[in-house]
Chain A
Amino acid sequence: MNLFRSEEHIRSWLGGRTPGATLPISKLAELAFAWWSDRLSADWQPHTRDQNQAILTRLGLTGEFWRLP
C-alpha cells in the first residue's frame, strides 16, 4: 500500500510480479477520509464488514480484488 511517482515507477517496482490495484491519489484521499474519519470519535463503534464494503463500493472499488472476506 504505497505511493509512487507514476505508473511507470509502479511497473518498475513490480518487476515480474502480478499487479494489484492502482488508484490515483485523489481516489486514495477519498477512501482514507471515508474509512478513517470516525477513528477518534468519542462514540466510535467498530465498523462491520458490510459497512466497510459499502465504503469501497460507494467509491467504485468493486470486484473480487476489493471484496472483503
Chain B
Amino acid sequence: MDSQDIDLRNITYQLFTEFGRAPSATEIVQATGLSTDAVRSGWRRLHEAHALVLDATTAEIRMANPFSAVPTRYRVAAAGKSWYGNCAWDAIGICAALHCDGRIDTICPDCHEPLTLNVRSRQVDRPELQFHCLVSAAHWWMTSSLPEAR
C-alpha cells in the first residue's frame, strides 16, 4: 500500500465520518481532483489489501471498518452524527475511532428486544450484555462476508 493509496483511504474515511454515510466515487473525485479511474483503481487495491471493502456489484464502498455503508442492526450516534457499525465489535469501534462517547441502538438477535447502550470514557453502561463471535479469527480475518452473520 503506497502513500497515494493511503491518502485515498484517509480521505474516504474522512468523508465517511463527515457525511454519516459512505462517500461515492464521484464525491471522492470532487474532493480530491483525482480521475474516476484513479479513485476506482485505488479503491480496488485498498479492497485487495483489506483496507476497505467494495460492493461486489456496484464497486462502491460497502465497508470501511468499523463503518458500514448499508444499514445494519448496529446504529451508533456520536458527536452529533450517526453511522451504522458492521457488528457489535465495530459499533463500539466507531466510538473508539472517533475518540468520543456514543450511544448504540441494536436488538438482541434471539428475542429481538431493543437494546440501548452508552459508551462513556471507554466503558459500556450495560455490563450484563454478552458478545458472541460465532466463527474463529481464521474465518473473519479472511472473509468480507456480512459480520452480523458471524
Contact = CB atoms under 8 A, between A and B. Distances in A.
B150 A44 contact: no
A56 B129 CA distance: 20
Chain B CB count within 10 A is highest, among A4, A22, A32, A67, for A32
Chain B interface helix/strand/loop/mixed: mixed
B28 interface: no
B70 interface: no
Contacts, number: 168
A32 B89 contact: yes
Nearest to B104: A3
A64 to B, nearest CB: 7
Contacts of B14: 40
Interface of B: 1, 6, 9-10, 13-14, 17, 49-51, 65-66, 73, 86-90, 92-99, 106, 108-111, 113, 115, 117, 119, 122-124, 126-138, 140-142, 147-148, 150
Interface of A: 1-7, 9-10, 12-14, 17, 19-33, 35-37, 39-40, 42, 44-46, 49, 56, 64-69
